[in-house]
Amino acid sequence: MLSVLASQQEIESRLAGGELCCPACGGSLSRWGFASPRVLRTRAGTRTLRLRRAACAPCRRTHVLLSAGCVARRRDSAEVIGAALLASAQGVGHRQIAADLARPPGTVRGWLRRARARSGPLRASATRWATALDVHPEPMRPQQDAFEDAVEALAVAARAWVLRFGPAEPWDVALHLTGGLLSGGSRRGPP
Are residues 147 and 88 part of one domain? yes
Are residues 107 and 52 part of one domain? no
Sheet strands (E) in the chain: 2-3, 29-34, 38-41, 46-49, 52-56, 62-66
Are residues 167 and 138 part of one domain? yes
Q: Give me the chain's average pLDDT, please.
A: 89
**pLDDT by residue (tens digit) across 23-81?**
889 999 999 999 999 999 999 999 999 999 999 999 999 999 988 888 888 999 999 99
What's the pLDDT score for residue 191? 42
Are residues 84 and 62 part of one domain? no
Residue 155 lies in a domain: yes
- Domain closes at, from 39, 66, 93: 66
d(CA 59, CA 45) in angstroms, rounded, equals 38
Are residues 173 and 82 part of one domain? yes
The gap from C-alpha 176 to its chain's centroid, in whole angstroms, comes to 4
Task: State pTM to two decimals.
Answer: 0.84
Task: Return the closest-CA partner of residue 54 out of 92, 27, 93.
Answer: 27
pLDDT band at 183 (very low <50, low <70, confident <90, very high): low
Domain span at 12: 2-66
Are residues 168 and 91 part of one domain? yes
Residue 186 lies in a domain: no
Total domain count, the chain: 2
